[in-house]
Every structure is written in structure tokens, then in C-alpha cells.
Amino acid sequence: MTDVVVLDYGSGNLRSAQRALERAGATVTVTADPDAAREADGLVVPGVGAFAACMAGFVSVDGPRIVDSRLAGGRAVLGICVGMQILFEFGEEHGVTTQGMGEWPGAVTRLEAAVLPHMGWNTVSPPTGSEMFRGVEEEYFYFVHSYAVQSWDLPIDPAGRLAAPRVTWTTYGSDFVSAVENGPLWATQFHPEKSGEAGLSLLRSWLGTIA
């Protein structure tokens, strides 16, 4: 079975992610141990709450270095909710700007919607060729958030040497990035672990990318 670590950096929502991954077929350990996180077949970075608090907790367990080392070796990482948001350049909440990991350029900002948080089930619009949403392109996924990335600014590689990330969008008041597939780095703004059979299908697809 595939060995997955759910990184414990004080963000909460760890056990539901563990249970869903186990149902999807993985052997799961919840830990802050950096060696285990680096060496596992797959690493899941969850996240709930404020961007700044999650980023501080993530840094406290050496999360940025762990993720960077895994990606340098082409090893799978999955970010969920705020665990996705902290992969971007920075977050803006309540007038405070916090640096993120900078794996992708862009800002996490407050959604432009009449009712917040965006809580409940919504559809996604994945790009052609998405591995993440294969077979569940028309399904609903579960969201709980008030902030998101609302523009995608990653420049296209002019030499065509690097595959462009596959970006999925969702609309709630305005359009926002709801998932990204970028080689070994996948991320979702929604919670696959709370998204029923569609979420389990997505987690199985992620596990299927791990050699």
C-alpha cells in the first residue's frame, strides 16, 4: 500500500483527512516528524483557519523545506484548503499581508460574494486532460472558505520545456482557483475528505500518480 503522511502542524482537520485517505487505499501516518514527511510516498498538507496562522505553523515544523525537497525529487504533495493557499506567494487577510511558499505566483484574497463563507457543495470546471477530476468532472465538492486565489498569473514557458499547470476554476460570486495540478504538486481549495465518493475518487487518482 502507498505510505502517506498527513503533516501535523497544528492546523486541525487531520483525522478526517487520515480516514478518507485510508478509505482510498493508503497507509496513513499523522505526524510532524520531518524525516517521515520527506520519506513518505505521498505528503498531504491540510489547512483550516487563517492564512497567517497556518503559515506560521507550517514554518514551525520546517514545512517549506520539506515540500521543496520533495518537489525537487518529483515526490507527490497534496495541499488541501489553506494547505493549498499557502503554496501561493502571499495571503491578504484583515489588512495583513503574509508571505506564502511562492510555489505559484498570486495572492489569496477575500472572495467577492454576498454571503461568506462559501460553505457547502459546488461544481468545478477542470481543464481538458485533468487527471485529478477524471470521471468526476460533473460532480460536486465541499467548500468552506472566505478567501481564495482569484487570478492566475503564472507566465507560460516560452521554450515549451515545462508543462503548464492544469488549473480548475469554480464560481461563487466571482471566479476563483479551486484546484491545481502541477507535476508532483496537486492542491484543492475544497475538501476532498468531506466530498463523499467524488472526493474519494480524487484521492484515489492522486494515489495513482505515486510510483
Cis peptide before 117 (omega within 30 of 0): yes
CA 5 – CA 201 distance, rounded (Å): 19
Catalytic hit among 54, 103, 118, 191: 191
| Residue the block writes with cell 480524487 | 202
CA 173 – CA 170 distance, rounded (Å): 10
Q: Answer yes or no: 191 catalytic.
A: yes
Q: Answer yes or no: 92 catalytic.
A: no
Q: Answer yes or no: 145 catalytic.
A: no
CA 7 – CA 11 distance, rounded (Å): 9
Between the alpha carbon of residue 68 and those of residues 72, 101, 128, 161, 164, the distances in Å are 6, 9, 28, 20, 19
Catalytic hit among 54, 81, 103, 118: 81
Catalytic hit among 39, 131, 193, 197: 193
CA 69 – CA 43 distance, rounded (Å): 12
CA 82 – CA 90 distance, rounded (Å): 12
Catalytic residue annotation: 81, 191, 193
